[in-house]
Amino acid sequence: MPNILDPNFSVPDIRPSETGVEATARAGLREGAYGNQIAQAKEREGQELGSSIHSAGEAANNTIEHMEISKAGAHGAELVATLNESWNQTAKNADPNDPAVAAKWRAEVMEPALEKFEGGFLTDGGRQFAQREIDEYRNHAVVKTSADMSSLAGDAVHINAEKTINGLSTAAFNDPSTVDFARDMLGRTLDGLTGTSPNISASDAAKVKTELTLKGEESIVKSAVMGAIVKGGDWQSIANDPKNKPYINAVEIQQFAHAEKFYQHADESEARSARQDRDYQNRTDFNAKMNVLEADTMPQNVGDPPRLPADYWQRLRDAAAHPGAALEPGRLRTMAQNGDAITARLGKPEPLSGISHATTMDLLTQMRATDATRMADTGPIYKAYEDGKLNNQDFKFLQDQFSTMRSPEGERLDKARDRFFNLYKLSIDPYAGADTDKTGRQPIYEAEMAARQREEAVRAAGGDPHSVYDVTSPNFFGKPENLQQFRDHAPLSSLFRQPGAPGGDLTAPPPDRPKNFPANAQWDANARYWYVIQNGKKFRVDPTTAR
C-alpha cells in the first residue's frame, strides 16, 4: 500500500554544520538518560527480587524452626523418661558408698544422649531451644543423682546401724551388765558410719546420727532391762541409772514390774514342771527295773513254781538307792515282801484246785474294782501264794493278768469280759449271787478260762477278741448251749468237802439264804444247792426265777 504523506508534514530545518553534532549530543544525552533509567530499573528489580527471595527463605526457615520446636517437646519428654529410668536402674543396683556412680552415669549415659538430641536440630531457633532444655535437664540430673546417692547412702547407714543396734540389743539382753559398753560401742559405730560415707551430706549425716543414736540407746537399755527380768536379776538398778532413765517412762516401768511377776511365776511353774518331769522319769525308770526283777521270779513253764534269782536281794538293795525309790516306797516294800513270800512257799505242797480257783476269782474281782478295793500292786497275789491259797498255775495267770490289765488294750478287753460275766454269771451258776456261797466259783472260773481260750483262738485267726463278748458276733461266748455246759458241770471245788468224803461236809454250817430265795428254801449240804418241797417233791431253786 503506498505511503500517503501527511499534508501537514514539514521537513525540519537541518543545518549540516550543527545538525550532526547536536544530534549526536542529544542522542547521547538521551541514551545516557535511558541507561540510567535502565540501571535504576534493574537495581529496583534486583532489590525486589532479593527481598522476595529473603522473605521466602525467612518464611521457610521459620516453618522448619517451628516444626523442630514442635517435635522437640515430644522427643525431649521421651528422652527425659528414658534417662530417668536408666538412672533409677543404675541407682537401684549401685553401691551407696561409691562416690563415682552418679558422675560416671552422667558422663557415659546422659551426656551422649543429650548431644545426640541437640544434633538433631537444623535451625538456630531449634538448636537454641534444645540447648536450653538440655541445660535445664543437666542441672536437674546433677541435683537428682546427687540427692539419690545421698538418700541411698543414708539408707545404707540406716541398714548397717539397724544391724548394729539389733546385735548390741541382743548382747545387752543376754548379759545386762554390758549395757554401758553396748551404748558406747553404738556411738563409735555411728560415728564411723556417718563420718566416712562419701555420698551423704554433713547435714544428713548429723540428722541420721542423732536419730539412730536415740533409737539405738533406747533399744539397748530396754533390752538390758528385759534381760535382767527374764534372768531374775536387778532390773531396777538399770532402769534407775541416770544414763538410762531418759529412755524409760513411768508406764513402761509399770509394764516391767508386771513382766517381773509374770516371769517369776513362769520360773516357778517351769521349776515345778521340771521337778515333776524328773520325778516322772525317776519313777518310770525305777518301776521298769522292778518289773524286770519281778518278771525274773516268774516260772518258766506253766505249773512250775516261781523262783527267786540269786541276786534278787542285792538288786533290791541297789534299787533302794535309786532316786525313784523314795517316790515309790510301797513298791520297794512290796518287792521285799514278794521275795519273802516266794521263799516261805518253797517246798510246800500245792493247795486244792478249788481253793486256788476261788482265790483267783476273788483276786480278779479286786483287779477289776473301780473303788478303793482295787488292787494297786501284786502284793495280794504274793500274799495269797505265800498263804497256800494259789497254785503255781493260778499264781502265774494272775501275775500275767495284772500286767496285761495295765495296758490300754488289756484294760478295755477286761472291761468287756467283766461286763459279760456280771450279766451271765447266774446263767453259769445260780448260786454265784450268794456272798457266802463258794460253790459257784468253780463253774465261773472254768467259764472264764474257757472264754479266754476263745479270745486267743479268735486273735490267732486274725479276729477281734472283743467279739467273744459281742452278742451280735458268731464268736459270742454267751450262747445258751455254750453256757449250759458250765451250769450242768458237777462242781469240782472241795471247799466244803473233807478230804476223801464222797459228798459235802455235813457238819459245816449252811450258807445264808439269798434274799431273793423263798423263805422255805432249804440247803442240801451234800448236793450243795437250795431246794423247796412242793407236793412232796424236791425242787431245786433257780436263782434266775426266784422271787
Tens of pLDDT along 381-417? 999 999 999 998 999 899 888 888 888 898 899 999 9
Residue 474: strand, helix, or coil: coil
pLDDT tens for 44-61 read 665 655 555 555 455 555
* Beta-ladder partners of 538: 533
Q: Phi and psi for 145 in degrees, rounded to 5?
A: -65, -35
Cα 98 to Cα 12: distance, rounded to the nearest angstrom: 110
Three-class HEC string of 500-514: CCCCCCCCCCCCCCC
Point out the least confidently predicted range of 27-31, 63-67, 472-476: 27-31
The rounded percent of the chain whose pLDDT value lies above 90 is 18
Is residue 216 included in any domain, yes or no? yes
Position 331, amino acid: R
- The answer to whether 399 and 437 are in contact (CB under 8 A) is no
**10 pLDDT band (50/70/90 cuts)?**
very low
145 or 176, higher pLDDT: 176
pLDDT of residue 313: 93
**318 pLDDT band (50/70/90 cuts)?**
very high
Q: In the chain, how many domains are there? A: 1
pLDDT of residue 3: 46
Question: Does residue 504 register a pLDDT over 60?
Answer: no
Structural domain harbouring 207: 55-248
Closest CA to 516 of 433, 395, 460: 433
Cα 164 to Cα 143: distance, rounded to the nearest angstrom: 31
Is residue 80 included in any domain, yes or no? yes
90 or 122, higher pLDDT: 90
pLDDT of residue 11: 43
Question: Does residue 194 register a pLDDT over 60?
Answer: yes
Q: What is the pTM of this model?
A: 0.42
Question: Does residue 259 register a pLDDT over 50?
Answer: yes
Inter-residue long-range contacts of 494-497, CB under 8 Å, 24+ positions, other chains counted: 494/352, 494/353, 494/354, 494/355, 495/352, 495/354, 495/355, 495/358, 495/438, 495/439, 495/441, 496/438, 496/439, 496/525, 496/528
Position 293, amino acid: L
Residue whose C-alpha cell is 525274773: 296
Question: Does residue 484 register a pLDDT over 90?
Answer: no
Three-class HEC string of 106-142: HHHHHHHHHHHHHCCCCCHHHHHHHHHHHHHHHHHHH
Is residue 228 included in any domain, yes or no? yes
Question: Does residue 493 register a pLDDT over 50?
Answer: no
Is residue 114 included in any domain, yes or no? yes
Is residue 491 included in any domain, yes or no? no
Is residue 204 included in any domain, yes or no? yes
Cα 320 to Cα 323: distance, rounded to the nearest angstrom: 8
Closest CA to 158 of 213, 202, 201: 213
- Interval 59-79 mean pLDDT: 68
Question: Does residue 35 register a pLDDT over 80?
Answer: no
pLDDT of residue 12: 46
**440 pLDDT band (50/70/90 cuts)?**
very low
Is residue 40 included in any domain, yes or no? no
**304 pLDDT band (50/70/90 cuts)?**
confident
Is residue 137 included in any domain, yes or no? yes
pLDDT of residue 324: 92
